[in-house]
Structure 1
Amino acid sequence: MSSCRGLLAAPPGKQDLEAMSEFRYQLRQFLRFSEEITRAEGVTTLQYQLLLHVRGFSGRQWASVGELAERLQAAPNGTAALVSRCEAAGLVVRVPDGLDRRQVQVHLTTKGERCLLKLATLHKSEIDSFGWIFRPTKKQ
């Protein structure tokens, strides 16, 4: 159980608290929106996030289970189970890595790509409506 004792830095001021509250409110609105549109498309928010991370992985069109676990901030075994559910739904396929047989690449299927692009378009429109600055970051 965590405690709110022992602050390490100066406490935030009233403006900071208002900004943090507004951020959390907008974030929660976005997450609720995401839950509703993914459910309407017949996938879970975690399935959508997995599709997004597979296709959004920098420099390639696939990701490993370990990389997806990191992006989802989830345990590798839980991520592997999520990949299995997505595979059963026809959204992804596992492909053995050509160089390292211990690794498995996760690729989107045509169905997964269509689902991702539809949902990502709706998500981007929602992000744009909040007025957040949304621009890709460049890796150094």
Structure 2
Amino acid sequence: MTPRPPALTKADFEALSEFRYQLRRFLRFSEDAAQAEGLTPQQYQLLLHVRGFPGRDWATIGELAERLQTQQHGVVALVARCVAAGLVTREPGETDRRQVIVRVTPEGEKSLRRLAQRHRTELQALSDVFQVAHISAFNDRG
């Protein structure tokens, strides 16, 4: 029989609330920073996930759909808008021509670097807050 988890305390609710608040503040910062750079938040996220894909500097539509937690047809439309804006290129896969490989252009890279630097600075400022707001509700209290 699985042991019953400990009851949530007022402190647990406060920690969860603080975490969600700080997370939402960061997301709002991210949205505003992207728009100030002339990008939509979705364009910034796409650039980030292409450039930040583990082990390589490109990604497929399917991989981006997973990273963005959205449907592939939505990513196809987003990639098309980014291609039109000069932010990314797309090309058929080398081994599977049905795959579409997305790469960041030099212009996209410039915008991405500026935004990523701003995000890193903001995350460094929030790191203490996130450590303090560690969710004790998920820790064992024995």
Greater relative contact order (Cα 8 A, min sep 6): structure 1 or 2?
Answer: 2
Q: Aligned match of 2:112 in 116, 125, 128?
A: 116
- Residue correspondence of structure 1 range 22-61 to structure 2 within 5 A: 22-61=18-57
**Aligned-pair CA distance for 1:32:** 1.1
Greater radius of gyration (CA): 2
CA RMSD of aligned residues (A): 1.5
* Alignment partner, residue 14 of structure 1: 10
* Alignment partner, residue 140 of structure 2: none
Which amino acid letter does the alignment assign opposite residue 98 of structure 1?
A: E
Q: Which runs of 5+ in 1 are unaligned?
A: 1-7, 134-140
Report the identity percentage: 57
Which amino acid letter does the alignment assign opposite residue 67 of structure 2?
A: R
Counterpart check, 1:70 vs 2:66: yes
- Superposed CA offset, 1:48-98 (max 9, x none): 000000000000010000000000000100111011111111000002111
Q: Which runs of 5+ in 2 are unaligned?
A: 132-142
**Aligned-pair CA distance for 1:121:** 0.5
* Alignment partner, residue 90 of structure 1: 86
TM-score, L = length of structure 1? 0.85
Segments of 4+ in structure 1 off by > 6 A? none
